[in-house]
Amino acid sequence: MFGRCRSVSVFEKLNRIGEGTYGVVYRAKDTKTQEIVALKKLRMEREKDGFPLSALREISLLLNIRHQNIVKLKEISVGRNLESLFLVMEYCEQDLASLLDNMKTAFKEAEVKCIMLQLFHGLSHLHQNFIVHRDLKVSNLLMTDKGILKIADFGLARKYALPLQSMTPNVVTLWYRAPELLLNAKTQTTAVDMWAAGCIFGELLSHKPLLPGRSEIHQLDLIIDLLGSPNDAIWPEFSSLPAVQNITLKSQPYNNVKTRFPLLTGPGLRLMNFLLMYDPKKRASAEECLNSSYFREAPMPCEPALMPSYPQHRNMPAVPDAHRFEDSNTQNHPGYVRDPRINK
């Protein structure tokens, strides 16, 4: 899988960008080509014996994915021994979490449409290749200085096949977690990514998280406040979900999406509701979203190159002791942590 890998010592450490599901991410410079890259050190301590399965999954998936809206794995680099492994990825100047946290005003609707279209293009490619990301959130969506969106952090991604196999339910950061996951569904589909995309859509429009739950029960309460209470009429498998037998959900009969987003047009509201369907079998696919009339009405999506530019929060000055990477001290290197929501 790895072929001939360069030593990580050829990269100069510039600053810490953040922390993904299974590793710390740094901005670094290739001293041979002078190219700026993102360097992700994979965590190895999670596995006592052998190479961590999560790392193999991420490497395997990224090596086989090539799409404009998915972050590109350029090469794999090694430390002093094979137990220290780094993913060398294309560098993106921004991530949506930092942009949202530092912008004084919300994105314009044409800009939201530009971002969401790119997200749906990337998701369509993943899902057509039977890949579920399982951790979509604004901090895992990167932006280049040319306005190109890139889906990143595939540490929890999985290949799926029919018939569906059981997967760990406690994936996807809480605020973006689909109701079937909160209710311990035994199988997962691409619909979990589409629910997260709906949460991201709402966050971009309102400039704040759509469903910022503090616990799984609170998360369900917020979903019910927005969409009304689920039942077997709208979600036939609802009563058979494992957690439904053990909890009492609040009763709320109204869908409040229109109240929450009063400026959204009919097509925009239909798209939002289609993404936030309780029943994962009825939830919008990425391909259906790309064909939504919301993207064909005024204001039209702006071109990526016309997206506004912002200060580069990921491009911090080099730390005082910046030097060539050595795997002995990379893990504990101090630096900028991208966004507090990344570990929630």
Residues designated as active site: 135
CA 211 – CA 178 distance, rounded (Å): 11
Q: Identify the H or E element spanning 216.
A: helix 216-227
Is 40 a known ligand-binding residue?
Answer: yes
Q: Identify the H or E element spanning 87.
A: strand 85-90
If we measure between CA atoms, which residue out of 179, 201, 227, 180 comes closest to residue 123? 201
Asked if 134 contacts 172 with a C-beta cutoff of 8 angstroms, the reply is yes
CA 218 – CA 89 distance, rounded (Å): 37
CA 129 – CA 125 distance, rounded (Å): 6
CA 271 – CA 113 distance, rounded (Å): 12
Side-chain-facing half-sphere of 173: CA atoms under 13 Å: 25
In the chain, the amino acid numbered 326 is E
Strand partners, 158: 132
In the chain, how many H helices and how many E strands? 9, 11
CA 330 – CA 205 distance, rounded (Å): 38
Asked if 139 contacts 101 with a C-beta cutoff of 8 angstroms, the reply is no
CA 129 – CA 154 distance, rounded (Å): 14
Q: Which residue, chain included where needed, has tokens 């204001």?
A: 299
Q: Rounded to the nearest 10 degrees, how much is the dihedral formed by the CA atoms of 269, 217, 204, 114?
A: -70
Rg (CA), the chain: 20
